[in-house]
Amino acid sequence: FPKEKQVKYFKGVGNEFATETHTFYEKQDDLLPVIIDNGGASILKVYQLNEKGIFLVYEQAEYYEDEVPSLQSLQAEFNETSILTKSIKVGRVINGWEIVSVDEKLTIQVGTLNNVIVLERENEDGSLNREYWAPIYSLVKKEFYMKHEDGNETRHWVGPQILSAGMLAQRGTMQ
């Protein structure tokens, strides 16, 4: 997972994904709060990061506060959902997401990332979602793909436009 106090900007392509900003705040013990803003809606997520893996423990849609609340005040509402857990190997399924690669190379604006983990989920309508997770950067790309009955294809993706550390502190919005 990325280090705390970072901002990641993602450029969306297609109707399925809008441009997103992921703001990572200061880690509290093994909890990392993140605000995801796509220009129309903002979501607060709290991840738990430990030796067992990455877990989403809290999610609040329509979150428009300037500050992250005390994580201790949210703990009664925590509900653990596995994102990436040990052991990470091709073919393993975690909450409906299948690990399809553990050593992908992905070239993005900041360069080529190695050892990227690719997760895939097929939806009931036959569409496919894919996520790319890279060491240090965490989630670096999301894709949506659908092949229609008439043979046409729909592809949408959101990927990093800029991945940089310390931008929050420079903008004066980090505690």
Residue 53: predicted pLDDT: 92
Residues 100, 119 contacting (CB under 8 angstroms) = yes
Average pLDDT estimate for 75-103: 94
Buried residues in 141-165 as b, exposed as e (16+ CB within 10 A): bbbbbbeeeeeeeeebbbbbbebeb
Residue 15: predicted pLDDT: 56
Q: What is the mean pLDDT of the chain?
A: 82
Instruction: With a cut of 70, say whether residue 161 has pLDDT above it.
Output: no
Token pair belonging to 32: 């990392």
Which of helix, strand or coil describes residue 71? helix
Which of helix, strand or coil describes residue 75? helix
Residue 95: predicted pLDDT: 92
Residue 167: predicted pLDDT: 34
Q: Which residue, chain included where needed, has tokens 């949408």?
A: 156
Beta bridge partners of 13: 157
CA distance linking residue 47 with residue 96, whole number of Å: 19
Amino acid identity at 136? I
Q: Are strands 97-108 and 6-13 parallel, antiparallel or unpaired?
A: unpaired
Average pLDDT estimate for 14-32: 81
pTM of structure: 0.79
Instruction: With a cut of 70, say whether residue 20 has pLDDT above it.
Output: yes
Predicted confidence band at 169 (pLDDT cuts at 50, 70, 90)? very low
Token pair belonging to 48: 């738990």
Residue 160: predicted pLDDT: 56
Buried residues in 7-25 as b, exposed as e (16+ CB within 10 A): bbebebeeebbbebbbbbb
Residue 1: predicted pLDDT: 65
Predicted confidence band at 42 (pLDDT cuts at 50, 70, 90)? very high
Instruction: With a cut of 70, say whether residue 122 has pLDDT above it.
Output: yes
Residue 3: predicted pLDDT: 67
Residue 112: predicted pLDDT: 86
